[in-house]
Structure 1
């Protein structure tokens, strides 16, 4: 098992089983806390063959180089990061996607996950990825016609992709919650159970250049649905959309860049994919960029106070 030291104790994690153990009787001094975020997401490419209006990903072409990514992962692994999530764009469109996943799993102790629209997950691709992936997230925004109108792809094609994913690794379903999908959360919960998903991740819609954030009516409907949920699939929610929802955080003192960071396809380090504040990861590496970003936030807080 890999361990991580933080303000809430010593966190033990097994990437194969997904088992987490927190030894919270121990309260390590800040000087020995792990310096890397617990989880880091990396947009391998901005390229995507879908054109969803609510997508936050930048639309300019950019992709990361394999050796560059692996160098960052080894740094993060050494300093206590537990898992890496590849995204985009559509990560399977990165020309070296399979090799990056294989090397990440083989050359680090990180849990390797990725988020996909699922339409490129053929049985052949799933077979090539086996042994390198510990969890997959598949985006399913609505069912049937709702999905097809929002994503521009056949729902039947998605279901075939899910079949392939189910042979690869444990997986969860993500749903962007907006005025179209909030009424289909029951159907999505049923779908998640039918296909064997272990988690239903709720992503309340965030503002982009083309859509507004989830409004109050949808927010109240989501809160009501979660409060009355009796499904068997575990619910989770994005930190950005968790306000007003009953959540349980086992690591309440591990916040901000201690918990999470995002690297975009241009090699910019951010607090999240939505955060405008960023620093370029230069030759000194990811941890140097992380220190500079933390300093930026500290200076901002001191200025505001």
Structure 2
């Protein structure tokens, strides 16, 4: 079981069972807080074989090198990071995806997760990943025709991907909430329960060059749905879209770069995948980049603790 020290206490985490224990009776001094973010996401590649309108990932070609990624993960691991989430683009399109996952699980104490569209989850790939993945997420934006219109792939192909991912590890379902998918949230939760998902992650749509952010009408429908939700699958929501929802946060004092950071496929460290600001990690390492990014926000008056 790995430990992490922060403003809300001492956090113990077991990556195999998913057990979290927070000793919030303890209030450690700031000088001993863990330097790493609690969670880090890494876009291994910008490549994707889908063309979703709501996708925020950069469209220029870029991919990270396996040794480079592992070096960063080891730095984070030693300074209290608990989990790493691989994404993209579509992470399974990275030529060294399996190797990166295996090494991350074997050479660090980090929980290894990834987010996928699910259409490349062959039996062979799942067999190669077995034992290296602690949690997986599959993107399901709508049911049937709605999904096919949003993603440009057959819904039946997605269902085959879900069948594969449930043999790999515990998994959750992600849904981008917009005017098309908000009316299908009941069906989404029923699907999540039917296939054995442990979580339904709501991602209120963020603006891209092709689409606008989730509007107020959709936002009210989402709030009403969450308020009246009685399903068995646990709900979660992105921090960017949590406003107005009845969330429970066990780490109210752990904010900004102490809670989360993102590395894009060009090796830029950012506060989130949506943030335009960032710093190039370079040869000095990821913890050095983290300090520079924190200093940047402090200078701008946006203190990230």
TM, length-normalised to structure 2: 0.99
Aligned match of 2:222: 222
Within the alignment, does 1:89 sit opposite 2:89 as a pair?
Answer: yes
Aligned match of 1:301: 301
Aligned match of 1:60: 60
Segments of structure 2 that go 5 or more residues without pairing to the other structure are none
Deviation at 1:185, TM superposition (A): 0.1
Deviations 1:175-210 (A, max 9, x none): 000000000000000000000000000000000011
| Residues paired across the two proteins, number | 303
Deviation at 1:122, TM superposition (A): 1.0
Aligned match of 1:277: 277
Aligned match of 1:251: 251
Segments of structure 1 that go 5 or more residues without pairing to the other structure are none
Aligned match of 2:5: 5
* Distance in 2 between residues matched to 1:37 and 1:285, nearest whole Å: 15
Q: Which runs of 4+ in 1 moved over 4 A?
A: none
Question: Which SS does the other structure have where 1:113 is aligned?
Answer: strand
Deviation at 1:124, TM superposition (A): 1.2
Aligned match of 1:208: 208
Deviations 1:209-268 (A, max 9, x none): 110000000000000000000000000000000000000000000000000000000000
Within the alignment, does 1:191 sit opposite 2:191 as a pair?
Answer: yes
TM, length-normalised to structure 1: 0.99
* Distance in 1 between residues matched to 2:203 and 2:36, nearest whole Å: 25
Aligned match of 1:29: 29
Deviation at 1:282, TM superposition (A): 1.0
* Distance in 1 between residues matched to 2:168 and 2:136, nearest whole Å: 8
* Distance in 2 between residues matched to 1:150 and 1:239, nearest whole Å: 23
Question: Which SS does the other structure have where 1:162 is aligned?
Answer: helix
* Distance in 2 between residues matched to 1:63 and 1:84, nearest whole Å: 17
* Distance in 2 between residues matched to 1:82 and 1:187, nearest whole Å: 33
Question: Which SS does the other structure have where 1:112 is aligned?
Answer: strand
Question: Which SS does the other structure have where 1:301 is aligned?
Answer: coil
